[in-house]
Structure 1
Amino acid sequence: MALHSDPQIATRALIPDVEDFPADIQEKIAEVTEKSGFTPNVFRAIAARPEEWRAFMMMHDSLMDRQTPGLSKADREMIVVATSAQNDCLYCVIAHGAIARIRSKNPRIADQLAIDWRKAELDERMQVVIDVAVKLAVRPAEVTDADQQRLRDAGLSDEDVADVGAIVSFFAMSNRLAHWGGLQPNHEFYAMGREPRAKA
Structure 2
Amino acid sequence: MTGTRGKGRAARRPEAGETPAPQEADGAVMALDLAPSAELSPETRAYLDKCREKIGFVPNVLLAYAHDGAKLDAFAALYNDLMLAPSGLSKLEREMIAVAVSSVNRCYYCLTAHGAAVRELSGDPVLGELMAMNYRAAALSPRHRAMLDFAVALSEAPWTIEEEDREVLRDVGFTERDLWDIAAVASFFNMSNRMASAVDMRPNRPYHDAARGPADA
TM-score for both structures, normalised by structure 2: 0.83
1:42 aligned to 2:61? yes
SS in structure 2 at match of 1:132: helix
Of 26, 40, 50, the residue aligned with 1:31 is 50
TM-score for both structures, normalised by structure 1: 0.89
Q: Which residue of 1 aligns with 2:187?
A: 169
Q: Which moved more, 1:47-56 or 1:76-85?
A: 47-56
Runs of 4+, deviation exceeding 6 Å: none
Query: Deviation string for 1:70-92 (max 9, x for gaps)?
Result: 42100000000011110111101
Of 106, 110, 126, the residue aligned with 1:108 is 126
RMSD: 2.0
Q: Which residue of 2 aligns with 1:82?
A: 100
Query: Deviation string for 1:51-78 (max 9, x for gaps)?
Result: 111111111111100344x421000000
CA contact (8 A) 1:82 1:134 kept: yes
| Cα distance in structure 2, aligned partners of 1:35 and 1:196 | 23
Query: Deviation string for 1:161-191 (max 9, x for gaps)?
Result: 0000000111111011101211001110011
Query: Deviation string for 1:142-162 (max 9, x for gaps)?
Result: 111111111111111111100
Q: Which residue of 2 aligns with 1:153?
A: 171
SS in structure 1 at match of 2:106: coil
Q: Which residue of 2 aligns with 1:3?
A: none
Query: Deviation string for 1:83-129 (max 9, x for gaps)?
Result: 11101111011101111111112111121011111012321210110
1:5-154 paired onto structure 2 within 5 Å: 8-16=28-36, 20-68=39-87, 70-154=88-172
| Cα distance in structure 1, aligned partners of 2:130 and 2:33 | 30
Task: Report the count of equivalent residues.
Answer: 192
Structure 1: unaligned runs, 5 residues or longer: 1-5
SS in structure 2 at match of 1:190: helix
| Cα distance in structure 2, aligned partners of 1:15 and 1:44 | 9
Question: Which structure has the highest helix share of the two?
Answer: 1
Deviation at 1:16, TM superposition (A): 1.4
Q: Which structure would you say has the larger Rg?
A: 2
CA contact (8 A) 1:16 1:48 kept: yes
CA contact (8 A) 1:74 1:104 kept: yes
Q: Give the 3 Å change call, closer, same or farther, for CA 36–139 of structure 1 in structure 2.
A: same
Identity over the aligned pairs, expressed in percent? 35
Structure 2: unaligned runs, 5 residues or longer: 1-25
SS in structure 1 at match of 2:35: strand
| Cα distance in structure 1, aligned partners of 2:27 and 2:209 | 20
| Cα distance in structure 1, aligned partners of 2:39 and 2:116 | 29
CA contact (8 A) 1:85 1:115 kept: yes
| Cα distance in structure 2, aligned partners of 1:27 and 1:46 | 16
SS in structure 2 at match of 1:98: helix
